[in-house]
């Protein structure tokens, strides 16, 4: 049984014009690393996975995609620096476009969130710092000790992002999202907890710490045009030991820098961890100052469901809402929201495996099993 509310127009399912892209609804697929790109080459099963989640006028953001051989920190993540990788992305992007959806490629470098095994010739992963991430007792994950990047090496990495963006457009993507969130390379530079001992122009003041990320944004905008560039940031998140003493100032500074680029596609921000308020887990809703300061489309992510998503779009707290785990487990999430239908539960144990089907393309569609 679906709710009586079925098919009523809910805020999440209203149209929205994001730059030159005419979106038919506001339910965005958040970037989700799935580790199924063997040898760092995207595989045909990704076409099935993404096109399952594509709707006419919907917006999908790809899993984080490595910009270079040193960018990798997890098994079988896709890359976008070789011709072979670009060619392998093409049919995947085509499959999404055939459904009428728009597809953005998230480009990243993990920095110190890596191990020697993932690095060319077993070298040390690179970072703002030579401090290692403390081992995670839950996952048992131990990252290798990183090597602090020399000042003169930074332009080369900016160039890796630029080339990755160029390649993403060549592969047919509608744009790129620069991954400046979650404790990976760009954030390692931005936050003072992980960038506390550099004395060059990439360390010290807030402006200096953000310089690398800003240079990446500028280079990518220059390469593919502001209307094709989104940026993801998470000033409040403390993932991978990456914390800042003043996340509000950090976020506001970065938003100002993004505002220099007229027509930038979007700013995508992640909420702080869920908080327990009156015995209930609640989204902290701390992104409002950034939403207000940013001149373009704003995407919020982190813990949203149908009710919370409708509320924040209805309140103009955000323009779009990105869904991670719920979209992972519900390929037809916008349709389920439309119907007020129950959701499949996600299975955490298959989030990150190399299986081409299980936990990937085998989550059921609501209407295959129910008459509506
Ligand atoms: C399996 C998994 C993989 C993820 N991979 C990425 C990623 O590649 N890039 C990224 O920016 N965030 C990644 N995230 C974070 C999600 O995009 C999202 O911000 C997070 O899951 C919170 O949203 P949710 O509560 O809707 O799941 C990942 C999350 C999960 C669960």
pLDDT single digits (tens) 332-355: 999 999 999 999 999 999 999 999
Residue 141: per-residue pLDDT: 87
Tens digits of per-residue pLDDT, 147-192? 999 999 999 999 999 999 999 999 999 999 999 999 999 999 999 9
Determine if ligand 1 sits within 6 Å of the CB of residue 181: yes
Locate the ligand 1 atom nearest the alpha carbon of residue 323 and give its number. Answer: 26
Domain extent for 119: 11-350
Answer yes or no: is 2 within a domain.
no
In the reported structure, the alpha carbon of residue 117 is separated from the centroid of ligand 1 by a whole-number distance in angstroms of 24
Q: Which residue's CA is the nearest one to ligand 1's atom 11?
A: 31
Q: Is 304 a catalytic residue?
A: no
Q: Which of 161, 163, 166 is nearest to 212 (CA)?
A: 161
d(CA 111, CA 303): 26
pLDDT tens digits for range 54-79: 999 999 999 999 999 999 999 999 99
Provide the token pair at 369: 């099993």
Residue 34 resides in a domain:
yes
- Residues 189/128, Cβ–Cβ less than 8 Å: yes
- Distance from the alpha carbon of residue 181 to the mean position of ligand 1, in angstroms: 10
In a domain, 59, yes or no: yes
Ligand 1 midpoint to CA 31 (Å): 6
CATH number of the domain enclosing 271: 3.20.20.70
Select which of 49, 50, 74, 184 is catalytic: 184
Contacts for 157 with CB less than 8 Å, ≥ 6 apart:
67, 68, 109, 126, 149, 185, 212, 216
- Please work out whether the CB of residue 301 comes within 6 Å of at least one atom of ligand 1: yes
Asked if the model's pLDDT at residue 12 lies above 90, the reply is: yes
Q: Which ligand 1 atom sits closest to the C-alpha of 322?
A: 26
Residue nearest to atom 1 of ligand 1 (CA): 351
Q: What percentage of the chain reaches a pLDDT higher than 70?
A: 98
Whether the Cβ atoms of residue 363 and residue 370 lie closer than 8 Å to each other: no
Question: Does residue 285 sit within a domain?
Answer: yes
C-alpha–C-alpha distance, residues 197 and 326, integer Å? 40
Residue with the nearest Cα to atom 31 of ligand 1? Answer: 325
Predicted TM-score of the model (pTM): 0.97
**CA nearest ligand 1 atom 18, residue:** 324
Number of domains in the chain: 1
- Does ligand 1 have an atom closer than 6 angstroms to the CB of 26? no
324 in ligand 1 pocket by Cβ < 6 Å? yes
Burial class, 24, CB count within 10 angstroms (exposed 0-12 / middle 13-18 / buried 19+): middle
């Amino acid at each position: 049984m679906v709710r009586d509310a079925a098919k009523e127009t809910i805020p999440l399912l209203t149209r929205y014009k994001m730059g030159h892209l005419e979106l038919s609804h506001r339910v965005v697929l958040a970037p989700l690393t799935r580790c199924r790109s063997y040898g760092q080459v995207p595989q045909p099963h990704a076409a099935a996975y993404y096109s399952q989640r594509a709707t006419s006028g919907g917006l999908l953001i790809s899993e984080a995609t490595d910009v270079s051989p040193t960018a990798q920190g997890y098994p079988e993540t896709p890359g976008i620096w070789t011709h072979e990788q670009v060619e392998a992305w093409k049919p995947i992007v085509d499959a999404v476009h055939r459904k009428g959806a728009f597809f953005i490629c998230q480009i990243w470098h993990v920095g110190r969130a890596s191990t020697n095994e993932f690095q060319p010739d077993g070298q040390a992963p690179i970072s703002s710092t030579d401090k290692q991430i403390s081992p995670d007792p839950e996952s048992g994950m131990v990252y290798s000790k990183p090597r602090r990047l020399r000042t003169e090496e930074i332009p080369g990495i900016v160039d890796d992002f630029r080339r990755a963006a160029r390649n993403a457009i060549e592969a047919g993507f509608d744009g790129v999202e620069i991954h400046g969130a979650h404790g990976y390379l760009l954030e390692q530079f931005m936050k003072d907890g992980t960038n506390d001992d550099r004395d060059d122009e990439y360390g010290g003041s807030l402006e200096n710490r953000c310089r690398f990320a800003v240079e990446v944004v500028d280079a990518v905008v220059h390469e593919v045009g502001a209307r094709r560039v989104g940026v993801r940031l998470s000033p409040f998140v403390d993932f991978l030991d990456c914390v800042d003493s003043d996340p509000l100032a950090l976020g506001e500074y970065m938003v100002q820098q993004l505002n220099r680029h007229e027509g930038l596609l979007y700013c995508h921000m992640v909420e702080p961890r869920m908080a327990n308020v009156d015995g209930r887990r609640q989204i902290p809703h701390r992104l409002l100052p950034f939403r207000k300061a940013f001149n373009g489309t704003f995407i919020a992510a982190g813990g949203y469901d149908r009710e919370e998503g409708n509320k924040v779009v209805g309140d103009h707290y955000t323009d779009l809402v990105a869904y991670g785990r719920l979209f992972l487990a519900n390929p037809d999430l916008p349709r389920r929201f439309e119907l007020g239908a129950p959701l499949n539960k996600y299975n955490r144990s298959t989030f990150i495996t190399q299986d081409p089907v299980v936990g990937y393309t085998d989550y059921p569609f609501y209407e295959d099993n129910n008459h509506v």
